[in-house]
Amino acid sequence: MLIGLISDTHITPKRGKLSEKIFEIFDGVDLILHAGDITVQDVLDDLNKIAPVIAVLGNNDKLDLKKHEIIEIKEKKILLVHGDKIDLYESGLKYEADIVVSGHTHRPNHEIVNGMHLINPGSSNRPVNSNAFVALLKIDDGIDVDFRDLTE
């Protein structure tokens, strides 16, 4: 299964819309996970035109979303959270997650801690000390993460 990962879009009427590159990169994904700081419903509506979207509440959101979601795919449990002021590994343990997808830092990152994948796709619109990124998560016999730079 191929999953698009996105976070910290921070789209507002003054900050435009999603990059067209996101639509190209996510073309063909089975699912999109948005790790919060969406800010406007239009972002989710636009992403839903590509594939079904599961999203969580970020610290800048006023949308009607949960603070976390648990998704099971191919016998892997994914915890989707924004990540504001929480220990991602400890949260993953609490929910017995194989993968934790988070946002908040605006920086892309993938690390494996005691077999648990901690993934932050970065910010697609307002990066901090990096370029703008999204990521593709492939779950089959294993777990593979492919970061995609939106500025190239």
Domain boundaries, the chain: 2-149
Q: What is the pTM of this model?
A: 0.96
Q: Which residue is associated with the tokens 């900050």?
A: 15
pLDDT at residue 129 above 90?
no
Of 1, 9, 46, 2, the closest CA to residue 134 belongs to 9
Domain covering 2-149, topology: Purple Acid Phosphatase; chain A, domain 2 (3.60.21)
Mean pLDDT of 121-130: 87
Dihedral sign for Cα 21, 27, 42, 81, please: negative
> Which spans in 4-122 are helix H?
20-25, 41-48, 88-94
pLDDT at 130: 85
The predicted structure's pLDDT at residue 12:
85
End-to-end CA distance of the chain: 26
Average pLDDT taken over every residue of the chain: 94
CA angle 64, 106, 86 (to 5 degrees): 65
